[in-house]
Amino acid sequence: MNVDNVKSQMRKGMLEYCIMLLLKNKTCYSSDIIDELEHANLIVVEGTLYPLLSRLKKEELLDYEWQESLSGPPRKYYKLTEKGREVLSVLDSNWCMLVSTVDRIKNEKSNVE
């Protein structure tokens, strides 16, 4: 088994969810999203983030607004749309079920050993 490949696939699978969680209660500039993910030990580069943000925007889960910057041109700040909030709610439920299932399997396995 290629453990690095499995880790990469797991990470990709939850990256969109984590981005939506970051945008749940605030708007964020793309570099702020990268910084927050990095702070949570989920390293993402711009080349990965921008296509994801673009796809989420195309799916009408995110929107953006331009805000003036003190240090250069206006910046795009991303936010969840109402549709994005609805999808996030479903993802939250699914995440909780997934964590519960994995925990149950881990605990059953450790009880057998």
User: Could you give all domains of the chain from N- to C-terminal order, each with its CATH number?
Assistant: 3-112 (1.10.10.10)
Instruction: Report pLDDT digits (tens) over 44-93.
Output: 999 999 999 999 999 999 999 999 988 889 999 999 999 999 999 999 99
pLDDT class of 7 with cuts at 50, 70, 90: confident
- Would you say 77 and 29 are in contact if contact means Cβ atoms under 8 Å apart? yes
pTM score of the predicted model? 0.85
Instruction: Report pLDDT digits (tens) over 92-112.
Output: 999 999 999 999 998 986 665
